[in-house]
């Protein structure tokens, strides 16, 4: 074998069947090797490296399996830096293989040379520059193991071209060299589990918070059992929205900056806060000193660095959250106090501060479009992806997720352009499911080129585009904090820019670009809808199509995502109107 064959055989040995790769001068041997293994690995050609990285993430997030992407050196490799950082923030198992200039040329500023290990040192879980072909089989084994074990994350393997072409007799089962790392998840001590069970028994106003760690650990069933067994209301972080059924009687939906007002009030008033697999993001806590200040805090996380990092815990537990919940469910009993008054108080907040929008608006409001999509798909096998912006938060608020790994979105990094390629990867991973990207016109255009991949690779994703001609979330902050002064957030043609500078009007007189023409140019089916009465039929048409489909929903630009707690503020500073 040569080194390139070793790389591909290592992927096959690890059970990889799909990867996303864009070729170039210093990764050509790897692509040639892939043609020799085409019966084992499907190699999908994205239209840009970032699209390939997010498609690999979509594959990984939808399945829990390793996502694999590959690029050439230099600009190809730097194009994939954003998906790497995104995967690190959200704990996604990702293997990134990059070509590199020959070993002898490293450090000479050779054509398309970039020191990728140095570039990515702070945004990877681990990283390798392979300079000896004899190390390659071992390094590939280590990289895959590190990416998928412990708290998952991205691992970079940078491979010079001469290492790819050098002959070698590989040893695929040689021992790994990972001093200080065994990949095993820590397990809670029985005494700590008993402390939690006792705290639950003594609570009068408890709340459970489920974080993204619940999804990563595949612990949704154990979480559901705990809620049913104890009767404790539950809220989730943004990344954990699909960890618990939103329609459940004890579900409070999302907390935090754009979380429900009633949820945030319940969290503020609780006396026991059981946080499971969460890192206490600033989007969750707001002003840290005021967050859950009246509660006994139990924090369970597999990553020791997260414990006491943001919020001090009364009972800190370093553990695999699935193991912890399994053990807790064996001994836990409901609180001794009657929870009816507590749940009744929450019901009062729900009645007083419901999540709402103007249902009498003459226009299709984004919230209404998402709710209509939910009604049309709630009984189907569906995965929802989003880009980043207002549409992302409205999806979190108004789409009632019920099954784990059915909501894929960029949480920690907040990367525009995530939605379409992630949907592409999810559809490849789960071809039997309907995959819909709910996107905004700003975010969608960041990786619009992947429409070509969807057609050529026969990946029939759906895109419901909430088209308001603006960078909506930035525009909302302009309205709230900058007197509605438009500072380069309007995406349409400037036929009357002064009107948009003043925040007047509902729709531009000209829509730009013409997404229907673009979609059809790529070979997609497409439909434009602007009337409320036409929306249900348009969504039905999109869902029935067997081809990639773009539904361009024209929405007014002046809608805000509410409620909204400004950064560093508290529940009492929340903007609701």
Domain CATH number, residue 239: 3.40.50.1220
**Alpha-carbon separation of residue 559 from 262, 391, 475, 517 (angstroms):** 21, 11, 10, 27
Q: Report if residue 174 sits inside a domain.
A: no
Sheet hosting strand 525-529, strand order edge to edge:
407-408, 382-386, 434-440, 462-467, 549-554, 525-529
Same domain for 318 and 445?
Answer: no
397 flagged as catalytic: no
Q: 307 near 315, Cβ under 8 Å? A: no
473 flagged as catalytic: yes
Same domain for 130 and 210?
Answer: no
Same domain for 327 and 459?
Answer: no
DSSP conformation class of 233: -
Same domain for 344 and 375?
Answer: no
Domain stop point among 311, 326, 352: 352
Same domain for 196 and 244?
Answer: yes
Q: Report if residue 182 sits inside a domain.
A: no
Same domain for 276 and 203?
Answer: yes
Find out whether the peptide bond into 377 is cis, omega within 30 degrees of 0: no
Choosing from 32, 112, 201, 449, the catalytic residue is 112
Domain tally for the chain? 3
Choosing from 88, 161, 205, 322, the catalytic residue is 161
Same domain for 289 and 425?
Answer: no
Same domain for 548 and 399?
Answer: yes
Choosing from 9, 26, 49, 372, the catalytic residue is 49
Q: Report if residue 32 sits inside a domain.
A: yes
Same domain for 429 and 305?
Answer: no
CATH code of the domain covering residue 408: 3.40.50.970
Q: Report if residue 96 sits inside a domain.
A: yes
Cβ neighbours around 536 below 10 Å, total: 14
Choosing from 116, 140, 473, 542, the catalytic residue is 473
pLDDT by residue, tens only, the chain of 577 residues = 999 999 999 999 999 999 999 999 999 999 999 999 999 999 999 999 999 999 999 999 999 999 999 999 999 999 999 999 999 999 999 999 999 999 999 999 999 999 999 999 999 999 999 999 999 999 999 999 999 999 999 999 999 999 999 999 999 999 999 999 989 999 999 999 999 999 999 999 999 999 999 999 999 999 999 999 999 999 999 999 999 999 999 999 999 999 999 999 999 999 999 999 999 999 999 999 999 999 999 999 999 999 999 999 999 999 999 999 999 999 999 999 999 999 999 999 999 999 999 999 999 999 999 999 999 999 999 999 999 999 999 999 999 999 999 999 999 999 999 999 999 999 999 999 999 999 999 999 999 999 999 999 999 999 999 999 999 999 999 999 999 888 989 888 766 554 444 444 566 666 789 999 999 999 999 999 999 999 999 999 999 999 999 999 999 988 999 999 999 999 999 999 8
Same domain for 226 and 291?
Answer: yes
Q: Report if residue 577 sits inside a domain.
A: no
Choosing from 111, 172, 481, 572, the catalytic residue is 111
205 flagged as catalytic: no
112 flagged as catalytic: yes
Q: Which domain holds residue 537?
A: 366-554
360 flagged as catalytic: no
Helix (H, G, I), strand (E, B) or coil at 437: strand
Same domain for 384 and 462?
Answer: yes
């Amino acid at each position: 074998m040569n080194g390139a064959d070793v790389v591909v055989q290592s992927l096959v040995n690890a059970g990889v069947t799909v990867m996303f790769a864009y070729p170039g001068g210093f990764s050509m041997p790897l692509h040639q090797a892939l043609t020799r293994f085409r019966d084992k690995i499907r190699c999908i050609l994205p239209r840009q490296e970032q699209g390939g990285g997010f498609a690999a993430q979509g594959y990984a997030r939808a399945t829990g399996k390793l996502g694999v992407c590959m690029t050439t050196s230099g600009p190809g490799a730097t194009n994939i830096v954003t998906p790497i950082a995104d995967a690190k923030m959200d704990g996604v198992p990702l293997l990134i293989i990059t070509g590199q200039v020959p070993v002898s040329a490293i450090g000479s500023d050779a054509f398309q040379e970039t020191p990728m290990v140095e570039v990515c040192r702070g945004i990877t879980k681990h990283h390798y520059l392979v300079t000896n072909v004899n190390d390659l089989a071992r390094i590939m084994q280590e990289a895959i193991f590190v990416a998928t074990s412990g708290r998952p994350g991205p691992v970079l393997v940078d491979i010079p071209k001469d290492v790819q072409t050098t002959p070698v007799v590989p040893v695929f089962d040689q021992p790994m060299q990972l001093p200080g790392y065994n990949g095993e998840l820590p397990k809670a001590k029985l005494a700590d589990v008993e402390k939690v069970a006792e705290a639950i028994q003594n609570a009068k106003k408890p709340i459970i918070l489920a974080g993204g760690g619940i999804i990563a650990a595949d612990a949704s069933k154990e979480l559901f059992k705990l809620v049913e067994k104890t009767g404790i209301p539950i809220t989730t972080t943004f990344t954990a929205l699909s960890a618990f059924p939103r329609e459940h009687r004890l579900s409070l939906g999302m907390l935090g900056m754009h979380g429900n007002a009633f949820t945030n009030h319940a969290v503020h008033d609780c006396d026991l806060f059981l946080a499971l697999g969460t890192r206490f993001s600033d989007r969750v806590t707001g002003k840290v000193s005021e967050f859950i200040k009246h509660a006994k805090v139990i924090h369970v996380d597999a990553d020791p660095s997260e414990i006491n990092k943001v919020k001090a815990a009364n009972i800190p537990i370093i553990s695999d959250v699935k193991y912890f919940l399994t053990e807790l469910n064996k001994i836990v009993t409901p609180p001794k106090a009657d929870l009816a008054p507590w749940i009744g108080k929450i019901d009062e907040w729900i009645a007083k501060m419901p999540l709402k929008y103007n249902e009498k608006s003459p226009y299709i409001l984004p919230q209404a479009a998402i709710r209509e999509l939910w009604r049309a798909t709630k009984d189907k096998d569906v995965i929802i992806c989003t880009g980043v912006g207002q549409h992302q938060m409205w999806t979190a608020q108004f789409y009632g997720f019920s099954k784990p790994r059915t909501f894929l979105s960029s949480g920690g990094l907040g990367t525009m352009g995530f939605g379409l390629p992630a949907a592409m990867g999810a559809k490849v991973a789960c071809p039997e499911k309907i995959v819909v990207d709910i996107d905004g016109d700003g975010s969608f255009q960041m990786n619009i080129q992947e429409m070509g991949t969807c057609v050529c690779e026969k990946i029939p994703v759906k895109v419901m585009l909430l088209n308001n001609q603006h960078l909506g979330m930035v525009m909302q902050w302009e309205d709230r904090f900058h007197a509605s002064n438009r500072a380069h957030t309007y995406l349409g043609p400037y036929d009357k820019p002064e009107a948009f500078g003043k925040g007047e009007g509902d729709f531009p007189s000209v829509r730009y670009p013409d997404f229907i023409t673009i979609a059809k140019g790529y070979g997609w089916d497409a439909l434009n809808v602007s009337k409320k009465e036409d929306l249900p039929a348009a969504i039905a048409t999109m869902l029935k199509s067997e081809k990639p489909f773009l539904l361009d929903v024209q929405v007014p630009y002046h809608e805000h995502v509410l409620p909204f707690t400004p950064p560093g503020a508290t529940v009492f500073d929340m903007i609701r109107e």
